[in-house]
Amino acid sequence: MDPLLLRVQADPAAALGPQTRRHPRRASDLRGIFQDAGALEALIRDGNPVIYETFEAPVPASEGHLMFGMTVLYPGRVGDEYFMTKGHYHERRLTAEVYLGIRGRGCLVVQTEDGRSRMLPMEPGGVVYVAPGWAHRSVNTGAEPFIFFFTFPADAGHDYAAVARSGFDLLVVHRTGAPAVVERSR
């Protein structure tokens, strides 16, 4: 393919050009990730909103390429948990990823298969390096859309099943008017 010249801005579809691939995730796509299943079902009945959408550049998912794009994660909560992405390991575990905050406020929750976990706050201009082997999930802790840029080896693949089995140990919840990180009770 030819080189691309794009501009990072708060409108991902415009920034990534007409060939952008958009992947919306609705509340009904997120069953099993929030602690309060009843609150999620109520949200699904109440219009099943898009919780986040990912916009990917038209890059082939093959060796040598870097996939890149932007995620828009809308504000809101399911029970006391902030809206968040499903989260995944990369199928090829030894591949990393870079996130760059563009707009809004949130964090990345990361975790390894041997049980280490961290919460990394993100704001516009902040960069997170997700090292190889760390599962990652983003969370919108603010009142406006949380938008970030990402790039990773295009053939990394996504393993959602491992995260669905183990869950993340850290939850980001709304407590007495502010975000707080708590350990999930088992």
Closest distance to ligand F6R from the beta carbon of 145 (Å): 13
Closest distance to ligand F6R from the beta carbon of 183 (Å): 21
Considering the rule CB under 6 A, would residue 138 count as an interface residue with ligand F6R? yes
String marking each residue 59-88 x if it binds ligand F6R according to CB under 6 A: ------------x-------------xxxx
Asked whether the CA dihedral 133, 142, 74, 55 is positive or negative, the reply is negative
String marking each residue 21-50 x if it binds ligand F6R according to CB under 6 A: ------------------------------
- Nearest to residue 69, comparing CAs of 38, 41, 97? 97
Closest distance to ligand F6R from the beta carbon of 110 (Å): 11
Asked whether the CA dihedral 184, 141, 164, 118 is positive or negative, the reply is negative
- Please identify which residue in 134, 146, 150, 168 interacts with ligand F6R, judged by CB under 6 A: 150
Considering the rule CB under 5 A, would residue 97 count as an interface residue with Zn ion? yes
Closest distance to ligand F6R from the beta carbon of 54 (Å): 5
Contacting residues toward ligand F6R, per CB under 6 A: 54, 71, 85-88, 97, 136, 138, 150, 152, 158
